[in-house]
Chain A
Amino acid sequence: MYAIKTEKLTKKYKDKTVVDNLDLKINCGEVYALLGVNGAGKTTTIKLLSCLVKPTAGKAWLMGKSIADDETEVKQLISISPQETSVAPNLTVRENLEFIAGIFGFSRKEAKKKADKMIKDFNMAEIEKSRAKTLSGGWQRRLSIAMSLISQPKVLFLDEPTLGLDVFARRELWRLIDSLKGSITVILTTHYLEEAEALSDRIGIMSKGVLKAQGSAQELKKKAGTESFEEAFVKLAESEVQL
């Protein structure tokens, strides 16, 4: 079974096709990066897969559950860490974590236990009683990702997870994402090519709603016939045909 499978998944807004006949097969435990310039359709793809918007055509399954017919089950399996930091500002770090565990159906005792683990895993003991709005951008992002993981999702969507972070905070998050490999399927969207190259098992390049190419960073360079990944990305994104 694939963690994610789509068949001709399409999203149109009036006459504009934002995601165009997307066929994806993503394995369980894989870190898959979606790359593309602004307006390529990455965020809409994530919104489609996380049941936030309905497809105009096509089908998609997450862990075998249809996004159209099994929305509640899909939502129990997934988690999203949106582009902007997504925390409840007046709640403390611990309260944010326990809140998310609670809305995913864990009892108060379980929620506390899970929050303990997240606080330990993410080295947040010192700030666990601090309100989220008082934290730095890096800590807020870290909390945001911890909140996405506390429900033990099978599939985690990370939308631009390191946007706006300094180099240290970014490296710290890279280590974290790397540690998830094999246990959780991670769909990562990013503008940072080196991030996709360093973290992903496979990379999909989207342009104008179309998946232009996919494969490992090495495979993509080979397909494009270029030395650097940046050159490969530009060549493949601008290509008129799917490779």
Chain B
Amino acid sequence: MSRSLVFALRNTKEIMRDILTLVFGVLFPLVLLILLSAIDRSIPPQAQMTLFEINNLTPGVSVFGLSFISLFTATIVSKDRCTSFILRLFTSPLKPSQYLIGYTLPLIPVSLLQTVICYLAAFALSLKFSLNVLLAVAVNIPVALLFISIGLLCGTVFNDKIVGGVCGALLTNLSAWLSGTWFDLSLVGGTFEKIANLFPFVHAVNAGRFALSGEYLSIVPELLWVAGYALVIGAVAVIIFNIKMKQD
């Protein structure tokens, strides 16, 4: 087994054995999905409020759930950095690229699993199965990479105490408020909507909604926003990680 895979396997175990992963990664988004579906059932059709309909809600909640992936990534990176475990790792023959692969790899299946669980729960709440659901799940892969990149960056820059606040509170709130999941951004409009559109979160949710509704051509421009952010943030994380590794 390659060194990257050995490191990835260790990280997978560290993440999956943390109770926070289960609570925030799976249970919390599920509770939100169920609650908001219940609210949707109470909204009279005359209100013409479609935001919490399961087709609109599921992509939003799945993206919100993925924001916790940043927390998991940042937590493991910063905990390693802030303890003497990093001395053991840095005096081993692992190379910088192997660290980054090792930190990133385990979170891709975790993200996929999280998305799949979210969609399975949505089936129980009236979402109809179609091949578009599979596409919506696949669309979340670049979104997961975006949140992993943010986690790598935060874990590299901040210590394990700050990471909880930045990724656990700030990022999850930011991604929720600016994603158009909980309220229609166009209803707020103005500067808020413009700012929200400059961030990748609303585009990540839109990509999932377009996938689910079969508007395939509309997916690409939305995903370009997500991929662009993921690439830039990922590159910055790699550069800073390399600098920190060589830092005295």
Binding site for B on A (CB under 8 A): 13, 50-54, 72, 75-76, 78-80, 82-91, 95, 99-100, 102-105, 107-108, 131, 147-148, 151
Contact = CB atoms under 8 A, between A and B. Distances in A.
A82 B93 contact: no
A103 B248 contact: no
A91 B10 contact: yes
A90 B13 contact: yes
Q: Which 4 A-B pairs have the closest CB atoms?
A: A102-B6, A82-B84, A90-B17, A84-B84
Chain B interface, >50% SS class? helix
Given A51-B91, A103-B89, A108-B1, 7 more contacts: A52-B90, A54-B248, A79-B91, A83-B84, A87-B85, A103-B3, A105-B93
30 contacts: A13-B248, A53-B248, A54-B246, A54-B248, A75-B91, A75-B93, A76-B93, A79-B91, A82-B88, A83-B84, A85-B84, A86-B84, A86-B85, A87-B85, A88-B85, A90-B17, A90-B18, A95-B10, A95-B13, A99-B6, A99-B9, A100-B88, A100-B92, A102-B6, A102-B9, A103-B89, A103-B93, A105-B93, A107-B1, A108-B1
A151 B3 CA distance: 14
Interface in B60-115: 83-85, 87-94
Specify which of B6, B85, B91, B93 lies most central, judged by the most chain A CB atoms within 10 Å of its CB.
Answer: B91
Contact of A52 (B3, B7, B18, B87): B87
Given A85-B84, A86-B85, A90-B13, A103 B91 contact: no
Nearest to A56: B248
Nearest to B14: A90
A142 to B, nearest CB: 15
Contacts of A147: 88
B74 to A, nearest CB: 16
B3 A102 contact: yes
Interface in B88-145: 88-94
Chain A interface, >50% SS class? loop
Given A82-B84, A90-B14, A103 B6 contact: yes
A13 B248 CA distance: 9
Contacts of A131: 17
A87 B88 CA distance: 9
Nearest to A87: B85
A60 to B, nearest CB: 14
A104 B92 contact: yes
Contacts of A85: 84
B85 A78 contact: no
Contacts of B1: 102, 107-108
Nearest to A50: B91
A131 B10 CA distance: 13
B93 A72 contact: yes
A80 B13 contact: no
A28 B20 CA distance: 47
Contact of B83 (A84, A90, A91): A84
Nearest to A52: B90
Contacts of B93: 72, 75-76, 103-105
Contact of B7 (A54, A86, A103, A108): A103
Nearest to A13: B248
Specify which of A83, A84, A103, A104 lies most central, judged by the most chain B CB atoms within 10 Å of its CB.
Answer: A103
A1 to B, nearest CB: 21
Contacts of A50: 87, 91
B112 to A, nearest CB: 21
A95 to B, nearest CB: 7
B94 to A, nearest CB: 6
